[in-house]
Structure 1
Amino acid sequence: MRNFTSINLALVVVFIFSVCFAGNFTVSNITADEMKRDSGNVWVSLKATVTNNGSSPRVAVPIQAVDKNNHTMKNFGLKGTIPPGATGELIGSIPVSEYEFKKITKWIVAQ
C-alpha cells in the first residue's frame, strides 16, 4: 500500500508541476509503448513531439489516458527542456494498472 500511495503522490506532484510550468507549446504526436508488466501493472513509455512556442526552455505537457468514452483513466506530465522556437521530444514512463490499461484507447494533451 505504501508503494502504491507513493507512486500516486508522485504522479500528482508531477501533474501539478506540469500545469504550473505549462507554457505555449504545440504537440504534434504522442506515442505510448508497453515496456513491461509486473505486480498487476503495465509500465508505459510515453513520448511526445513538442514545439516550444514560449520564451522559456522549460516545457511541461499534461497528458491524459482516456477510454472509449473520453473518460480520464490516468493523468501524467511530461517535462523537459526544448529551446524556444524549437521542436523536440519529451519522454517519460508511468505505471498503469492492468485493469486501466485494458480500457485506455488513446493518450491526449490534457485540456
Structure 2
Amino acid sequence: MVIDMVSKCAPNIILCGHVKDVSLNEGLDGSVKDLDLTGKVKRILSARSDAIGFCHRDTNGNLCINFGGDGEILTGSRCQHLAGKDIIVAERQEDGSFVSHWNRIFPSLSSK
C-alpha cells in the first residue's frame, strides 16, 4: 500500500535497502546476497520492480550499481539498457569530487 502511494509522487522511484546472505541448498552450494525483507513483502516488491541493483564502490572509488545476475547477488532488470550491467552512476574525479551519470540509469534525463 505504501509503495502504491509513493509511486504516484514521481515517474521514477528508487528504494534503498539492505541485503543479507542467503544460504543456497542448506549451505552446501554457498550463499548469495538477497533483499533483507520478509516473506510476501520481498516477493511483491521484486515482482513490481523494473530493476533491482546492488550499490557498491569499484576499485577507483566510483559509485556503481550492479544489475547483473552474477550468481553472488540476486539482481537483474527488465530494462534492456540495465540488464546484466555494472553501471557507474557517480564517477570519482582526481580532486575527490564526483560527476553523476544518472542518465545511464534513466535515459530520459539525457534530453533535459
TM-score, with normalisation over the residues of structure 1? 0.28
Choose between structure 1 and 2: higher strand proportion.
1
User: Normalised by the size of structure 2, how large is the TM-score?
Assistant: 0.28
The structure, 1 or 2, with the larger RCO (C-alpha pairs under 8 Å, 6+ apart) is 1
Q: Which has the larger radius of gyration?
A: 2
